[in-house]
Chains A and B, each alone.
Chain A
Amino acid sequence: MSQRIKFYQTGTLTVGNRLLDAKDRTVQATLDRGNSLTSGHRACQGCGEALGARYVVDAAMRWADNRVVAVNATGCLEVFSTPYPESSWQVPWIHSLFGNAPAVATGVRAALRAKGRTDVKVLAQGGDGGTVDIGFGCLSGMFERNDDVLYVCYDNEAYMNTGVQRSSRTPPAARTATTPPVGNSSGNVFGQGKNAALIAMAHNIPYVATASVADLHDLEEKVTKAMGIDGARYIHVHVPCPLGWGSPPHDTIRLARLAVETGLFALFEAEDGEVSDVTHIRRRLPVEEYLKPQRRFAHLFRPQTDADAIGQIQSIADRNIEKFGLIGRNG
């Protein structure tokens, strides 16, 4: 594995490609990037999913020399990119249903194999609802068969397309349209959580990774690595949603970074079911730093601080840090 390039800037959130050699710059920074998800689409300002998808699909296209077929689950990404009669996709792209993107991708793969087109790679993508909830059966089937598909989940932690309802990826205490903090309730329940990457790993598929739009170099690197592997691969990308999270559009990257720095979203890779690499936290932060800027957690701080809920969220972060060893020697 090539050495990970780290940016130790402080006082600014800009991570500049200009600091790198040309060959180490992102695909997005190159003039000949694919623009697979091209401009003019209807995503909200500051949309983490649009940003993530642009990096993911272009990196995949770069690896495959533009020979990619994309399958999309129903959701924001599908709706904002293909309002009739327009399409933002400059890649062969199909949307079928909410819960069947992994299976449709399997079908595309099978067809290409029957036709001897092993040079064409298949990329499937969806939001957390389409992936971790309604599409989970198909996803697990695709993993179990080890179908040659890269599946990318853009996790913005709720059903944003339908107006911010709770998904199984919605964090505890978060306000959504179906988990309103009313009376003594503090938003979403403190359930058991659903770590799709760990469940993907339990299928022993060759490659699983989590990524974040906070580190787009890392995201591209993981996509590129996944593209070079045969079989079922899964990348779970954390993508803040200004609309659903109640945060300013310019804070998307900052919040994604805070999710990582607090330990709430662990960045790791796994090969053949075993964790193979972890991105260490450089400067550990308390979860309040992440929660406070988001309106979906405002009720934890006003009218009075809900120390109990915040404490429980902190213990989730602490457990992640311990479980994945997020505080490392070179962290």
Chain B
Amino acid sequence: MLKQIEGSFAVAEAIALCRPEVICAYPITPQTHIVERLSELVRTGDVGNCQYINVESEFAALSVAIGASAAGARAYTATSSQGLLFMAEAVYNASGLGLPIVMTIGNRAIGAPINIWNDHSDSMALRDAGWIQLYAETNQDAVDLHIQAFRLAEQLSVPVMVCEDGFILTHACEQVDMPDSEQVDSYLPPFEPVQVLDPAEPITMGAMVGPEAFTEVRYLAHHKHLRAIEVIPELSTEFEHIFGRNTGGLIEPYRSEDAETVIVALGSVVGTIKDVVDEMRDEGVSLGAVKVVSFRPFPLLALREALQNAKRVIVVEKCLADGLGGIVVGSVRMSLRGTSTPVYTIIAGLGGRAITKKSLRRAFNEAVADRLEDPHFLDLDWKVIDHELARSQEKRRSGPIAENILRELGLVGGKPV
């Protein structure tokens, strides 16, 4: 049913349709609306037999989910940014224990400087924590990917993060085709755990493993992700049969088959990139795009195939490895190993900076002419950078950089000193 709805509410309603048995909630912007809406849905009985637990930290939120999942319940939580880092230890633990928890990440920057707006620093920081990571381009994606996430998680006994851009998606009202409960029930069977804490059959979970078997345990986790590479497209196909939409899969190419230049990106910025591709195509530039839906596991072969005709590749990403450049680009380059295809990195949208079509066009044109520096920081204000670098060289106690820059921009306080 088509519904004009805020992204967070759409996700909350999709979660409710998946009938989680335990939901753990701790507020952090911008995911908060999801758990707020779920608290209502649980109290009105729309989630069925579900325990909603307000906890005292994100570390506790995921820990409660770990206990619930180990006891055989379908468990869900959501977080963002600092919250994800605060629960980092439990993030690794959940995957290590093989617990199929689903967690929404309302993607947000990591401080300092504290910043509540969107980029991918949070989920990227935990990209190799053993969780599957699916990135949503639209709120329709977000809704559909959550339904697939429970199925995928429970089929493979591996936790899944569904990452959606904070504010850009979580707080955007747009039309979403909301599934009905019959559809979801036919797609997502009740959770049948492979291991469960049951007095009738006592097992030990979380035993210590030393050097004699640790590598084997870790390999089996690797193996699960390799299996996920096969399972994710299958689940997407099955999803399409029931819901009529081909959401998901590993990647989604857009006019990339014959394109000389292919842009690789994940999340909501793909929508903007598609518009730019259309416009520049109209102007005769041979451009296409590939959306990466599954970042972990990374679809090395599928992406390699999608990029095989490209003369150059541009990765647009909302995260930064200081001193190195992009993070996504490393995996993209790995998928292109053995080829001589040049790969450019555009770092964009950090801390919620708007990524405009105009700026993307300028950068894409530079790349098409093979003039783009790598990495390229989209819309970087060099005046501010140069001023701050000069100022900090003048005296040792130059003060906090963030505040100095705000002063330089005239946003706070007096004039720069």
User: Given the interface contacts A69-B197, A83-B207, A87-B207, does A140 sit within 8 Å of B49 by beta carbon?
Assistant: no
Assess whether B207 is in contact with A95, with CB atoms less than 8 Å apart. yes
Q: Within the assembled complex, what's the spacing in Å between the Cα atoms of A173 and B360?
A: 65
Q: In the complex, A145 Cα to B64 Cα: how many Å?
A: 13
B160: chain A residues at CB < 8 Å are none
B64 pairs with A107, CB closer than 8 A: yes
A214 to B394, CA, bound (A): 68
Could you tell me if B204 and A66 are in contact, using CB atoms closer than 8 angstroms?
no
Asked whether A96 and B210 contact (CB < 8 A) given A110-B51, A114-B50, A145-B53, the answer is no
Which chain B residues border A106 with CB–CB below 8 Å? 53, 55, 60, 63-64, 67
Q: Return chain A residues, CB-CB under 8 Å to B50.
A: 114
A111, B67: Cα distance in complex, Å: 8
Nearest neighbor of B204 in chain A, beta-carbon distance? A87
* Given the contacts A100-B90, A103-B59, A104-B63, A120 and B70 also touching, CB distance less than 8 Å: no
Q: Separation in Å of the A139 CB from the closest CB of chain B?
A: 10
CB contact between B67 and one of A108, A137, A145 (< 8 Å): that residue: A108
Contact, CB under 8 Å: B66 / A92: no
A63 proximal to B (CB < 8 A): no
> Which of B73, B90, B202 lies in contact with A96, CB distance below 8 A?
B90
Q: Which residues of B contact A100 (CB under 8 A)?
A: 59-60, 63, 66, 90
Which residues of A79-105 are within 8 A (CB) of B? 79, 82-85, 87, 89-97, 99-100, 103-105
User: How many Å from the CB of B386 to the closest CB on chain A?
Assistant: 44
Q: Is residue B89 within 8 Å, beta carbon to beta carbon, of the partner chain?
A: yes
Please judge, given known A-B contacts A111-B21, A115-B73, whether A96 and B57 are in contact too, CB under 8 Å. Answer: no
For residue A169, CB closer than 8 A to chain B, the reply is no
Does A103 lie within 8 Å of B64, measured CB to CB?
Answer: yes
Nearest to A103 among chain B residues (CB) is: B63
Size class of the contact patch on chain A: 35 or more
In the complex, whether B208 has a CB less than 8 A from a CB of chain A is yes
- Chain B neighbourhood of A67, CB < 8 A: 199
Majority SS of interface residues in chain A? mixed
B161 at interface, CB cutoff 8 A: no
A111-B63 contact given A67-B199, A95-B206, A96-B97, CB 8 Å threshold: no
- Asked if A71 lies at the interface with its beta carbon under 8 angstroms from chain B, I say yes
Bin chain B's interface residue count. 35 or more
By secondary structure, the B interface counts as: mixed
Please measure, in the bound complex, the distance between the C-alpha atom of A68 and the C-alpha atom of B49, giving whole angstroms: 22
A114 to B73, CA, bound (A): 8
* Contact in complex: B24, A107 (CB < 8 Å): yes
Q: How far is the CA of A105 from the CA of B197 in the complex (A)?
A: 11
Q: How far is the CB of A233 from chain B (nearest CB, A)?
A: 17
Enumerate B59-75 residues with CB–CB distance to A below 8 Å. 59-60, 63-73, 75
Partner of A137, one of B57, B68, B197, B212: B57
**B203 x A92 contact (CB < 8 A):** yes
Q: Do the beta carbons of A137 and B56 come within 8 Å of each other?
A: yes
Which residues of B are found within 8 Å of A105, using beta-carbon distances? 67
Question: CB within 8 A of A84: which of B65, B73, B201, B213?
Answer: B213
Cβ contact of A114, chosen from B51, B54, B55, B207, cutoff 8 A: B51
- When the two chains form their complex, are residues B68 and A107 in contact, meaning their CB atoms are under 8 A apart? yes
Distance to closest chain B CB from A102 (angstroms): 8
Contact: A141 with B56, CB < 8 Å? yes
Q: With CB as the reference atom, state the residue of chain B lying closest to A94.
A: B205
| Residue B417, interface by CB 8 Å | no
Query: What's the nearest-Cβ distance from chain A to residue B212, in Å?
Result: 8
CB neighbours of A103 from chain B (8 A): 55, 59-60, 63-64, 67
B63 to A138, Cβ gap below 8 A? Answer: yes
Whether, in the assembled complex, B346 has its beta carbon less than 8 Å from a beta carbon of chain A, the answer is no
User: B56 and A144: CB pair below 8 A?
Assistant: yes
Q: Is A250 an interface residue (CB 8 A)?
A: no
Nearest residue in B to A105 (C-beta to C-beta)? B67
> Given A69-B197, A92-B202, A120-B199, A110–B208 Cβ distance below 8 Å?
no
Distance to closest chain A CB from B153 (angstroms): 16
| New contact pairs (16) apart from A97-B63, A103-B64, CB-CB < 8 Å | A79-B208, A82-B206, A91-B202, A93-B197, A93-B202, A93-B204, A96-B63, A96-B66, A99-B89, A103-B55, A104-B63, A107-B53, A107-B65, A110-B73, A137-B56, A137-B59
Top 9 A-B pairs, shortest CB-CB distance: A107-B67, A141-B56, A111-B73, A103-B63, A95-B206, A111-B71, A100-B63, A104-B67, A87-B204
